[in-house]
Structure 1
Amino acid sequence: MRLAVQYCPYCGEQDLRPREEPAGAWECADCRSTFVITPVHQEARR
């Protein structure tokens, strides 16, 4: 499953493209930064 990313965390632009490696990586076409999104699982509250 790939999470949808809306904005680059470095420059705030929206021109993002998924990368093959490492898993979960995205590249910003504007600032050329690459970052990885890691899902965090939370336990259900009771």
Structure 2
Amino acid sequence: MTEEPTGRTRQLPPFHCPYCGDEEISPHGESTDGWRCAACLRAFTVRLLATGVRE
């Protein structure tokens, strides 16, 4: 039996905007998941869905 994680693990911040590729991004909003790109003015979040490892 495997244990389910009880909390979130801290992930590295994104290094570039997924829309335009610019590296000038900063935290956005009160949530720690939001990011804002200074070049294209988009706000976005990044979420890991899976790692590719199959059980």
Which of residues 12, 16, 19 in structure 2 aligns to 1:3?
12
TM-score in terms of structure 2 length: 0.59
1:34 corresponding residue in structure 2: 43
Deviations 1:16-40 (A, max 9, x none): 0001244401000000000012234
Gaps of 5+ in 2: 1-9
The structure showing larger relative contact order (alpha-carbon pairs under 8 Å, at least 6 residues apart) is 1
- Change in 2 beyond 3 A, CA 1:2/1:45: closer
Root-mean-square deviation (CA), in Å?
Answer: 2.1
| Percent of aligned positions that are identical | 31
- How many residues matched? 45
Letter of the aligned partner of 2:13 in structure 1? A
Q: Is 2:34 aligned against 1:25?
A: yes
TM-score in terms of structure 1 length: 0.68
Gaps of 5+ in 1: none
